[in-house]
Amino acid sequence: MNVTRLGFAHFRNLRDGEIRPCDTINVIYGSNAQGKTNLLEAVWLFTGGHSFRGAKDGELPVLENGRNAALASLTMTVFTEGREQELQLLFKNGRRESVINGVEKRTGSALVGKFCAVIFSPEHLLLVKEGPARRRAFIDGALCQMKPAFARVLTNYNKALAQRNALLKDILRHPELRDTLDIWDQRLILFGTEVILERIAFCRALAPKASEIYGGIAKEKERVSFSYAPFGGANTREEIAAKFFSALKSAQSTDIRTGFTSAGPHRDDLSIEINGLSARTYGSQGQQRSIVLALKLAEADILFQKTGERPVILLDDVMSELDMSRRDYLLNHLDGRQVFITCCDPETVRLMERGRGFFVENGHVKNTVLETDSVVQ
Ligand SMILES: Nc1ncnc2c1ncn2[C@@H]1O[C@H](COP(=O)(O)OP(=O)(O)OP(=O)(O)O)[C@@H](O)[C@H]1O
């Protein structure tokens, strides 16, 4: 899928205008605080998701005398399902409305599934830098996008976990309740096994793709490996359920003492190593950035395989800390994908072999002419 036009009015500092991106690389450049990320955020919001910067819908219309205006609107023409489709998003008095091919929808979430994108923002570096929760959230987020049924299983698992944890705390005061723990163990194993099986299947598809993409970014100088191996590498439904059961049993006394369930998919991790060493502990800034990029691009490839539509790739401030050859990979080797990249350095535009540049200054966006792709201003 490709964005062929993006219009904006009163959206953050972007007053009124439009851009016509190309179907390859679109570099959005300019000094700090001019509106580059705002433009990327405008594209992202058509996924139906929340702002990747954590902003509330009421904060998105332009500020006027210190208060957000009542209305902001975004329009997008996107080529998907073999034809151009018109999408509109309105942020009205703190609420979202959407219009799909002229049909008004009361919610913004009606857009989910119409437009698909993968976003990298500096915050995503925490995926490598922080603890396992970030990596689990990445896997689960990707699975929820691909399989709505997974979201239900995950919710059921989390509910069973919360109830088991509440019971563990009660058992300390009422030891006779210990017998009822079995019921929650069974539910936890039932849903937890399904969560683990889906994560294993996703990681099996993700790991080789991400390693291959990393090889391209790092010009094969380093080898990166990804591994998700819960319960020491259990694979089948029966094996996982059996190992989960014995892990819960052997940790039962500790769990009652701490009031917390210590085994299960809520403790799993996706291990990431560069040349056999933990990327979290030993990876450089550039290596960690390249790993997150590889994971995001691999996620996009898997989404493409599942849906038949290539998600649009949004890369916010990805160039800093990447050397020339890594920049060259992003600008010139992501064939077949529509990419939007923000950066401060105008030189980046000149490194592109093919693509379009958009210069952003104080909320105004100008198309710039490249030698290889002349663009109407
Ligand atoms: N609701 C709003 N109304 C008006 N201006 C806003 C609103 N929200 C954010 N801004 C302004 O948008 C600008 C920031 O834009 P953005 O985050 O896109 O910057 P950027 O060009 O990506 O900068 P950097 O390179 O520093 O990341 C700031 O000047 C900020 O004050």
pLDDT digit string (tens) for the chain, length 377 residues:
999 999 999 999 998 999 999 999 999 999 999 999 999 999 999 998 889 898 999 999 999 999 999 899 999 999 999 999 999 999 998 899 999 999 988 777 788 878 989 999 988 999 999 999 999 999 998 898 788 789 999 999 999 999 999 999 999 889 899 989 999 999 999 999 999 999 999 999 999 999 999 999 988 788 999 999 999 888 899 999 999 999 999 999 999 999 999 999 999 999 999 999 999 999 999 999 999 999 999 999 998 998 889 999 999 988 887 888 888 888 888 888 999 999 998 888 888 888 899 999 999 998 875 544 433 33
37, 314, 348: residue to mutate for ligand 1 pocket, most atoms within 8 A of CB: 37
Alpha helix positions (H), the chain: 36-44, 126-129, 132-146, 148-173, 181-217, 237-250, 252-258, 279-282, 285-307, 324-332, 347-351
Report CA Rg, the chain: 23
As for ligand 1, residues whose beta carbon falls within 6 Å of it are 12-13, 30, 32-38, 59, 62-63, 68, 317, 342, 344
How far does Cα 347 stand from its chain's mean position? Answer: 28
The pLDDT assigned to 374 comes to 39
Name the closest-CA residue to atom 19, ligand 1.
33
Note whether 188 and 241 are within 8 A (CB): no
Rounded to the nearest angstrom, the distance between the alpha carbon of 1 and the centre of ligand 1 is 27
Going along the chain from its start, the domains and CATH numbers come out as 2-116+312-368 (3.40.50.300), 128-281 (1.20.1050.90)
Rounded to the nearest angstrom, the distance between the alpha carbon of 362 and the centre of ligand 1 is 9
What does residue 11 show for φ and ψ, rounded to 5 degrees?
-95, 115
The pLDDT assigned to 370 comes to 55
First to last CA, the chain: 24
8, 10, 11, 13: residue to mutate for ligand 1 pocket, most atoms within 8 A of CB: 13
The identity of residue 178, as a single letter, is R
Name the closest-CA residue to atom 28, ligand 1.
33
* Burial of 257 per CB tally in 10 Å (0-12, 13-18, 19+): exposed
* Burial of 319 per CB tally in 10 Å (0-12, 13-18, 19+): buried
Phi/psi region, residue 267 (left: phi>0; alpha: psi -120 to 50; beta: rest), is alpha
Name the closest-CA residue to atom 18, ligand 1.
35
The pLDDT assigned to 49 comes to 83
Please enumerate, by residue number, every residue annotated as part of a binding site.
30-37
Name the closest-CA residue to atom 7, ligand 1.
12
Q: Cα separation of 377 and 365, whole Å?
A: 10
The identity of residue 165, as a single letter, is N
Residues 6+ apart with CB under 8 A from 338: 1, 2, 3, 21, 22, 23, 24, 26, 310, 312, 313
The pLDDT assigned to 375 comes to 38
Rounded to the nearest angstrom, the distance between the alpha carbon of 197 and the centre of ligand 1 is 42
The pLDDT assigned to 369 comes to 58
Name 29's bridge partners. 343, 359
Distances (CA, A) of 200 to 78, 136, 273, 312: 33, 12, 18, 25
Q: Identify the CA nearest to 288 among candidates 183, 192, 214.
A: 214
Note whether 128 and 288 are within 8 A (CB): yes
Which ligand 1 atom sits closest to the C-alpha of 41? 18
Which ligand 1 atom sits closest to the C-alpha of 34? 21
Q: Cα separation of 94 and 71, whole Å?
A: 8
Q: Identify the CA nearest to 91 among candidates 46, 138, 127.
A: 46
DSSP per-residue letters across 296-336: HHHHHHHHHHHHSSPPEEEESS-STT--HHHHHHHHHS-TT
Rounded to the nearest angstrom, the distance between the alpha carbon of 174 and the centre of ligand 1 is 55
